[in-house]
Chains A and B, each alone.
Chain A
Amino acid sequence: MTSPDDRYLWDRTGPADPEVEALERLLAPLAHRAGPAPSHATGDLAPGAGPGATLAAARARAWAPFAAAAALLLTAGLFARRGDDATSSRVVVTAGTGAPLATGAWVVAEGGERELALGRLGRVTLAAGSRVQVRRVADDETRLYLASGRLEARIAADARPRFFQVDTDAARCVDLGCRYVLEAGEDGASRVRVLLGQVAFEAGRREVFVPAGAECWARRGRGPGTPRFSSAPQALVEALDAFDAATADREARRAAARRAAAVADGREDLLAVWHWLDDDDDAVVRLALDTLLARAGPPSPSFVRPSGRPTAADREAFREHLELGW
């Protein structure tokens, strides 16, 4: 039963209910932030995979529909103009006043957050005290250097994968259509946490990919470690940290891998194990294959366990098999 007095609560007719009005005013800031709605534009998310195409680009192709939708949703409230070909526009990096920043310019977030705009393709929020240098500004690639501090990058879906990159002393963080937080410490270590889409974390020949919900550390001179989901159990985190730290001690590294494999449970935990498929140590590769087959099954009914090291196609098959759980 309802009473006539609930008319304002029901549809805002009838005498105003002061308590309901007060609650509306109090709670309104929590409402869904309605921005421009996302569109279907899957766009040209990945350039053609020629002979020189990177693994990240190939991954981006596989993730394209998801990344497009995710990043469109993410950036729905960020970009007033939509529907035009943003990638063809000239990119300028601006901070605060809107004056373009030249290559080599430094931005220091003194006294509070600062925001950089990457044309219409993205925004970067610098946490207070962070120091950033503009290293390259171009339509095909815009790159910053995070010397220290923390930034949050939000990149539009219609930006090309790899368009936005951030160097740290430990690794290069390559956006593949997403939102992420990157931190760089004074000790040269850096960490990326991905909120939407995915990021490639690279140093030299080593490249890892970090999907939404996951994070990865990189150390100066060692590059990226093993990515793991932020919700990973402590035992797995400790084993992976030991694995990443044992660069010079092969037995310790294998032991840590076995500990990690033993506690890796759900598909999220297998993100780390999947990265071992192209490890330099064949014993770690075999462990990864055993673990993935045992925990997730073969990627397809016709999959044949490779007698040697998995090929790139094998790794991609496993990734596609696992990513639904990521």
Chain B
Amino acid sequence: MALRGSSPDPAPVVPAAPAVADDVAGVLAAARAGGAAAFEALYRRYAPVAHGVALARVGPSDAEDVVQDVFVALHRSLTTLRDPAALASWVRSTAAHAAVDRLRRRARAGRPEPLSDVATRAAAVGDEGAALRARVLAAIQGLPEAYREALVWRLVEGLPGPEIAARTGLTPGSVRVHLHRGMAQLRAALTEDRPR
């Protein structure tokens, strides 16, 4: 895989772990009571999770919209979300459903898949970094679901494996396996995809 010459963007910064990590129940309760800071803490902790789930399925612009959909839904569901342990799972499943809904809407409207559209346009204007980025993301999106989500959280969102496990509710062991196997499959996919 040849990635030399890609965008010299700075290495991703790992978002600081918010206090919510130690007290999801308390923060959820505070958010339910109308606490702005508590909702903010939930947003900071789970927005990258939702975004990763979305970006594993849809293009970048839709992924941002999915995050907004998820947190609008979370805001409306605060009173019914009673189990703090289920929050991470709720965020992941809500994001997945929202992303699939967007795919269906696009299919119904006959609009082009945004990712391929981005790659085509980027290539047309000579933005090799953007075109390569779109190709790599497309390769990730072609992997099995568990692998692609783990890779997006790690490579795109910049979350280390232990942080992924903490925020998603998945076990560290399964996250590590998904990253390892997903990376192996991604290498293979990009090698096949490399222009000859």
A78 to B33, CA, bound (A): 26
Would B109 and A70 count as touching, CB distance under 8 A? no
Q: Which residues of B contact A83 (CB under 8 A)?
A: 36
Contact, CB under 8 Å: B132 / A66? no
Cβ contact of B3, chosen from A26, A38, A40, cutoff 8 A: A26
Q: A2-B176, A25-B6 are in contact. Are A74 and B68 (CB under 8 A)?
A: yes
Contacts of A34 on B, CB cut-off 8 Å? Answer: 15, 44, 47-48
- Which of A21, A25, A40, A66 is the one whose CB lies under 8 Å from B31? A40
Neighbouring A residues of B176 by C-beta, 8 Å: 2, 6, 10
Give the residue name and chain of the B residue nearest to A8 (CB). Answer: B160
Give A19 to B1 CA distance when docked, in angstroms: 8
Minimal beta-carbon separation of A225 from chain B (angstroms)? 18
**What distance in Å separates the Cβ of A216 from its nearest Cβ neighbour in chain B?**
16
B residues within 8 A CB of A232?
A: 109
A32 and B109 contact, CB distance less than 8 A:
no
**B162 is contacted by which of A11, A24, A26 (Cβ under 8 Å)?**
A11
Q: Which residues of A contact B9 (CB under 8 A)?
A: 25-26, 28-29
The yes or no answer to A239 lying at the interface (CB within 8 A) is no
A37 within 8 A of B: yes
Residues from chain A with Cβ under 8 Å of B187 in the complex: 19
Q: Which of B2-59 contact A (CB under 8 A)?
A: 3-4, 6-12, 15, 31, 34-41, 43-44, 47-48, 50-52, 55
Asked if A102 is at the interface of the complex by the 8 Å CB criterion, the answer is: no
For residue B177, which residues in chain A have a CB less than 8 angstroms away from its CB?
1-2
Given contacts A9-B183, A19-B187, A233-B108, contact A38 B160 (CB under 8 A): no
Task: Using known A-B contacts A22-B4, A233-B108, determine if residue A29 contacts B133 with beta carbons closer than 8 Å.
Answer: yes
Tell which of A27, A40, A66, A195 touches B155, judged by Cβ atoms closer than 8 Å: A27
Binary interface profile of A, 14-44, with partner B (CB < 8 Å = 1, else 0)? 0000011111111111111110111111000
B87 at the interface (CB under 8 A from A): no
Check B40 against A38 for contact (C-beta < 8 Å): yes
Query: In the complex, are the beta carbons of B157 and A25 less than 8 A apart?
Result: no
Q: Kindly identify which residue among B7, B36, B55, B76 contacts A41, using a CB–CB cutoff of 8 Å.
A: B36
B71 at the interface (CB under 8 A from A): yes
Min CB gap A64→B, angstroms: 12
Q: Determine whether the beta carbon of A73 is less than 8 Å from that of B71.
A: yes
A39 to B31, CA, bound (A): 9
The minimal Cβ–Cβ distance linking B158 to chain A, given in whole angstroms, is 6
Q: Is A196 close to B, CB under 8 A?
A: yes
The answer on a CB contact under 8 Å between A27 and B160 is no
**Does B39 lie within 8 Å of A27, measured CB to CB?**
no
Say if the beta carbon of A230 comes within 8 Å of chain B: yes
Which residues of the partner chain B approach A24 to less than 8 Å between Cβ atoms? 11-12, 155, 158
**A40 and B109 in contact, given A22-B3, A23-B3 (Cβ under 8 angstroms):** no
A73, B6: Cα distance in complex, Å: 32
Mark interface residues in A221-240 (1 if CB within 8 Å of B CB, else 0).
00000000011111000000
> Chain B residue with minimal CB distance to A18?
B3
Q: Can you show 27 pairs from A to B with CB atoms below 8 A apart? A: A2-B176, A6-B183, A9-B179, A10-B180, A19-B3, A19-B187, A20-B155, A23-B155, A26-B3, A26-B6, A26-B132, A28-B9, A28-B156, A29-B133, A30-B55, A30-B60, A30-B156, A31-B48, A34-B48, A37-B44, A38-B40, A39-B36, A66-B72, A69-B71, A73-B71, A83-B36, A232-B109
Sample of 16 further A-B pairs with CB below 8 A, known A26-B6, A30-B55, A66-B75: A6-B183, A10-B179, A11-B162, A19-B3, A22-B4, A25-B6, A26-B133, A28-B9, A31-B157, A36-B40, A37-B39, A37-B40, A38-B39, A65-B76, A231-B108, A233-B108
